[in-house]
Amino acid sequence: MLDSLTFLLERLFLLAHIKLFSLLPPQLARSCDREDPLPQPPAAAAASAAAAPHRFQRGDLLEVPRTLFTHFGIYLGDNRVAHLIPDILPVLSSDSRQIQQMVTNSRLLLGVLSKRASIRVDSVEDFAYGAGILLNAMDRAVPHSPLPGEEVARRAERLVGGVSYSLLWNNCEHFVTYCRYGAAQSLQTDQFCEWLKSLIRDQRCVVLTGLLGLLSMACLGVSAGTALPSALIPFTLWMAS
């Protein structure tokens, strides 16, 4: 059962990533392209990570591509990055040494399902996880001006600890935009909501859901469990379109 949920969640992440990226304007798409940074060999990645702290300033916003999403963090200085990441382990264990170990994909996915996360401090190497780092790329996309670097870093440090998690309403992007710009925002969430709104407004969805409803009644028989959704869902989409 857990493997099935993990597989389904991975597919949803991938679908959302593809849909959101296709909706971005060309300029923003180029600045946030998840495929631009090529995987680096371990030696090159280590050398890049070792050199990174020398070009980062306290309060900088760091952005790295992961397999199915983009991750964000705030540079605190001394090779340290504060970032919000879903994690189930703090709910299951109080062993601080074990919790401080790098978050695996299983821990991350279970954290998403349980809606638990931590704002934690890791090294630049662990935060980047071998990927290239974009520096303050969001400054070009957010209408607010960045706060002074020291204020950004202090905001991040004050928030370190366990937090609730929401894929749409409280993710790593909300954390860094609150710290750097003074207002929590997620461009990925905004784009997803716009895509969902356009999907609801598309009257072809009304026809499709109506046909699916008729098909379900033909296959499963007419009952309250099939007839009510078959009528209610198309009607709701029609009224919202």
CB 64 within 8 A of CB 82: no
Q: How many CB atoms lie within 10 A of CB 161?
A: 9
Distances (CA, A) of 161 to 52, 90, 156, 191: 25, 10, 10, 28
User: What angle is formed at CA 185 by the lines to CA 138 and CA 203, rounded to 5 degrees?
Assistant: 105
Does 205 qualify as catalytic in the annotation? no
Which residue of the set 172, 179, 193, 219 is catalytic?
A: 172
CB 68 within 8 A of CB 133: no
Which pair of tokens denotes residue 109? 């996915």
Q: Please give the radius of gyration of the chain, using alpha carbons only, rounded to the nearest integer.
A: 21
Strand order in the sheet with 134-135: 134-135, 61-65, 70-77, 80-86, 116-123, 161-164
Which pair of tokens denotes residue 130? 């071998």
How many CA atoms, within 13 angstroms, populate the side-chain half-sphere of residue 62? 34
For the annotated catalytic residues, the residue numbers are 172
